Structure 1
């Protein structure tokens, strides 16, 4: 960022932009929540304690629920970027600020100086002593009176440093690529020996760029919200026009009738007005909902842009993971449910009068398109799969790059608009867009299975589990037992990978750093014999397709049986071969039947729901499947092709 642009950004600093929304004072030790809103650390502590028995706290700005870290408020990320801006602002507006050193000595002296290097406010005596120690003799101290004009704001920012919490006074200058954490020199020597470490200035380049790219994707979501808002405005216009047309029709009819008809006229218009008011109210609420979502996204983008454009290198490194997680969540946020639907009323004229006491001249009816209240978020298991509509066929064999026809052994959705393909025949892991465009090859290994968890891509081969970050750099390689297993893999609770060994019938749980967290052995009654493909649902259950028993088995995270499903013919025989398996956002279970070229859909309880033959769409022997957050199912088959289906729900 140029010096002129940074000076302008610092010049905009004011008490309103630096006030904690909870206590309305200038931030004290600002703490960043996962929704990218900040509160003072004391305010976060109060909020945390108020919900001591709950697993979540609610952000006071956006009302979004945030999971409480297991290690208390220390699990929230300090907002180093905002803290640096507060320090600059306080240097310009310092009044009645106590000397930090005197406070430690339980003295009450006002500060007249500021150390531009470490940021401490000091009195005259402490200022003199500050330059007499070996650790601080080179620090630059300036009178507060010379900082009030703001001319040295950028200099203050440039001199600010972030020190290590474990090694007091040691500046953060490095970044451990292995552990994905900023570190100081002492940390590198003590805890990160043998790890891949780089200078913070070098490491921040790719991460700053990755955040900037995600910001662009969320900005596209805001544009989509604008179009949906236009749809709501158009709906309001249609409601007004329809109301006007119906009133005119009622008026023409009522003029020909007597007093009883006049009374019924009043009744029907009252009902009509009430109905239209309800629909207008629904539009107003939907517009407020859209504006709220847009404001939250804009606020997130403003903060992320400030960090990307104004943040210091180390600040970006500390905050980029939280920002990327938030940008990722906003990228995949579904917007199509916000489009307005309404039921156009109609008024029927009854031309047979059976009694003059109650003629029954009018009847108000509504079409089925309108939902009177804004749709609430769908709960898991709340939607029934009625069928599939073929959207496109995608060739995964890349001309002039692949030596053989692609043989898909793994599929996973990536960020909602891309998917990862494991090509065992050509020893490649490929990325495609949802439109079927090839993007890149991220690894040249012989993949057995693929899963995506958060922003980490997990790929198994017959020897190891390989973890890749979203910028396609290798994160970690974990050796697995060489048993000849195919090692199916899935994501669990958006925090872990589950790898199955179909020879030993065990399930290993790894975190996103590649650390082994748990080793599950199915309980005696779980009936798991040969786990060929695995997936998981929102409840944390592991679901297995077992080729030895020709069944789909659901078990909990301790290995106990929850449900077993077998598909039997009319003759009682088990005539299917359950293959790849995946769950959608409603916990419906999709199973590919390799032997009969069909897709079997089970409900969240593991009961039969639907059978769909894929040969009708030119797909023979379906092998691998994956679903995304937009209602699409991708299925691989013979010939290196994928079929992409839109799931039809009722």
Structure 2
């Protein structure tokens, strides 16, 4: 038991555990917040604002009317710091016999007296009647941590009022630990018990409270299973609807193509006939014109050079020929131009009515709509229950299917609008949809990042749940899987910089080859649980640093080449980041619910937020070659101009499982979107 306690203590008495996450130095007067995160008192003081502060890690707000000094001191950290500092002292002198003139190096330590002893004093310490039973250990063993558990047991916290007295009692009346002098003075008439008795009394209640969490966890797990089953059922129903709609569109497309071929064939035959008739008339007119020109030229020559008797001899023939030519009447030309009439050419109907109507469970109960078979020109409500055995749980009634914005189901809708921003021009067209497969014995995929492969038509998807990178081509065909090297940490961010692959994991940045071979590993600033990445050409990787509200830039060779920090910008949390061709940084702030456009110098060019912006909770961001900004915001994707002054919703989701998650733009300008259900959709914007 003592060995286990010692091993556990050695895990805690480490510099990284005893380092403040703000100043990255050993704790100085550690203060603990209600969220159980600890920081130096001096580090918390600048964070105070209007009598409150937000935890730099979890953003929990804590009211501190008395300032940082009024927060509880973390005595647990203090005790471990004392052990850490004690064990890291070197060249120690004997505290018994050393003085200003003579210094004896210590070779041992008395755990009871807390004195460092030279060899002579250690021998005498073990022979003295007063210290005969004290435990004296060698300094090597002490520094190696072999006696950490015993040292921890002998540690005592001293009273702040009587600094020579240890806190060994607990006042039930005041609910505070006290020393012997406090008990005899201020707490003489109070109910006082020993510290050990108080702990023994309270321990069962705390243990029972912790144990009760087991039942809560089991209950949540069962509810999670129920939700998963309902999601699978709903997904199967959605798949059936998708296949039905796809089959209908394919049949309708085949019908339209057949109608097109028939109409074009009929038109071609008509044009051929009419053109032949026009050609005959044209040739006849040309022939008559040639005859008239020839007659005029011959007659003029007779008049010019002929003798008198020759003119009189031919005068009758010339007269008859000219009268014959002048009496010619061309064929009557009937101009027959075909006219086109389209039976379905009703722009108003196409812009106001959707071709497909989805009847959700709640709507079915209200309207009791019967499902019909698909026919050309017939609107059909598609039920989520269709083609599905069993009932759908009523808890799913509020869930709606994922789709493009309702206007995108009908191409000809330029006047339709979607609050809060007006649509402009054509909307993205989905050209490919594929699912990230779940292999046998694998966990359900969880895609946390996506990157575009340079010089290739393909994408890299970071599967956080299975700790691997999957490479797909633009048609959704899996090319290969790249296992991640360090599987003890959770990877979350991915980006491609030239021929180097960058991945973030916990507080580290990994550089790999495109085949997944390890190159180097860097330690990132801050203590975030995840770091989003983006690349600027093949120059550097931009790392979003969360609550530090900054962006660090790292070259593929592993050097920090810059830092983007907006001045006087605090209390936010940078999430996703993108870099456009003008080296402007677009970053989403999850806490302040806004998107920033920054220069490399840190200057803020624009802030996209309400009430005039359609943003509510911005998440993933990306940019295209023209500088347009795409933002995933809850159930929608919003497109902004480069300066952020104009925004419009281009995609929307009405269902939690199919809501957009992460987004990017490939080298050809295609918009690549990963949904919550691990389906990937590729759009032409």
Question: TM tier, shorter chain?
Answer: 0.3 to 0.5
Q: Report the structure number with the largest CA radius of gyration.
A: 2
TM-score of the superposed pair, with normalisation by structure 2: 0.37
